Amino acid sequence: MDIQVRADNYHISEYVEKQAKEAANKLAKRFSHITNCEFILSTKEQSHSCELIVLVPGETYFAQSSHELMPNAISLAIPKMEKQLERYKSRYKG
């Protein structure tokens, strides 16, 4: 799986990059069909935003979240993506 972390109007610290990659790896452990996971991090005024794009065979999924702190914005995007991937998994499992 390819993991990309990039930023618009935001400097990515090592801590934030590590947290994003760990979150992507946790998703990959639960959903083995993931081929690409991309985090796009940005900030606007006092709000931090995380866009998460996940590719699986034949599908692209998108989740977005915002919070005052970037690590929390990343953490909030993960459950949204998990919900979408659960539907994908159940659709193709049986």
* CATH number of the domain to which 76 belongs: 3.30.160.100
The model's confidence at residue 62, banded by pLDDT at 50, 70 and 90, is very high
* Helix 14-30 with 70-93: angle, nearest 10 deg: 20
The count of structural domains within the chain is: 1
**Res 92: pLDDT:** 75
The predicted structure's pLDDT at residue 46: 86
94 versus 81: which is more confidently predicted? 81
pTM of the model: 0.92
Domain that holds residue 23: 2-93
Residue 17 clears pLDDT 90, i.e. is over it: yes
| Residue 6, CA distances (Å) to 17, 32, 39, 41, 93 in order | 9, 23, 6, 6, 33
Backbone angles phi, psi at 76, to 5 degrees: -75, -25
Residue 94 has pLDDT above 60, yes or no: no
